[in-house]
Structure 1
């Protein structure tokens, strides 16, 4: 009896497009903004689109890819 590992969207992406690299890049950009400017409102302005980008690619994109795959197999 062998258990097949479910296919993941991340298996088809290069190393620079993996969840760990997306999160690390986003945190680095937000932190870099704070370390460079030390202005909270600027860091927040940077954090909003970067957080949206991370959320899309780490949370929403895999769900959408799974839906597309399941519709394609019908």
Structure 2
């Protein structure tokens, strides 16, 4: 059984905080800018950051440090 890579991360780098921060930024920019080019320009990197740290990074850590 593999251990969770999240055990070694501080509270501000847990899945719930990444999801909350990313959705917060996307929501705030949508509220402030509406559905526009600027909103997409700001939201796309935030979404990529969320996908990387919620899906890609844990898989890479499990593969790099098997139990």
Global fold match (TM > 0.5): yes
Provide the secondary structure at the position in 1 that maps to 2:65: helix
- TM value normalised by structure 1: 0.80
Q: Which has the larger radius of gyration?
A: 1
Say whether 1:42 aligns with 2:35: no
Root-mean-square deviation (Å): 1.6
| Whole-angstrom distance in 2 between the partners of 1:8 and 1:39 | 37
Unaligned runs of 5+ in 2: none
Which structure is richer in relative contact order (CA contacts within 8 A, separation 6 or more)? 2
